[in-house]
Structure 1
Amino acid sequence: MLRFLMVAFIFFLGGCKDGFSQSRTVCVTGYNEYDRHIHEFWLDSESKSGCFGNPPGRKDGNPWGGGGAFSCGCNVTPDKEVDLYWRFERTKSEYDAGIKPEEHTIRVKIPHPQSYGSRYFRVYLRKNGTASLQWVDDMGADELPPTPSIAKEVGSLRYL
């Protein structure tokens, strides 16, 4: 009987091997390095896990647009590779002309949380067609630096 319990316990622990990589519920916010408004983005677009947003384009010499609104109830799993999809908003003339919106999809890997208490997840959509993902414990944490060409464009010594 003891041997059976030990074997059962080992199998139970084996099922917990990814205990630190389990899905976590977070609040997600998007940062947009493009001048154009992003109509929507989806992180883990295959399963529509609740990770979405629509950050405005950057303006007024800022390196990022967005970062102010949250979508809570988003589920992310550290180390999981997922699709990140985004679609730009169309102008009225583009819409009237029947021009399809510009869309992008890339594969990204969900990083590990900053700490056990991390509950905010930032998605940075970069002007060069890439993205960066960042866990933070609170939204007062520093933003990631912009792409170097954007830092030069906005003339921010903070990012150069």
Structure 2
Amino acid sequence: MSMTGEERRAWLKDHLKGTTPIAGHELSALLGVSRQVIVQDIALLRAEGYPIISTPRGYLFWEKPTGSIRTVVAVKHASSPEVVREELTTMVKSGVTVVNVIVAHPLYGELVGNLNLSTLDDVDRFMQNMQQMGASLLSELTDGVHLHTLEGAPDTIERAKWALAHKGFLLQASS
């Protein structure tokens, strides 16, 4: 499929509006271009204001669900895979989307890793990818202290906070 850049970006806009993310390597195969071309096209579309997000499963348009809110929670825990899985599972079982992870780095400032985890399958994929890549967690840079942006209905946000506090993950303000 031979397209100009403009035609390719129009195709991407049309095909990323579904509910299923499409991986970058799949897009490059479908369009007959390199993965880097897809990355550049996505960057150009984002710069034009299109709400395209990158999830562990691929790219898609992000539409904020009606009635959902976002909040940031501060957490701390060991950086073992078992504990990370428990933390992420606790949040998605509460009904929220774990949008990202944020750490405060002494040199670079705020570092953000996009997660967009909404289901137990998303958590499983994330954990498998982490293991296969031998990737380090951002929270390893900050002795386990990190933030998560959560998105969901107000009651699911409160349920997630309660569950995190109950398991000892949620950082509480000290008096």
Shared fold by TM > 0.5? no
Work out which of the two has the higher radius of gyration on C-alpha atoms and give 1 or 2.
1
- Between structures 1 and 2, the one with greater helix share: 2
Q: TM-score, normalised by structure 1?
A: 0.25
- Between structures 1 and 2, the one with greater strand share: 1
Q: TM-score, normalised by structure 2?
A: 0.24
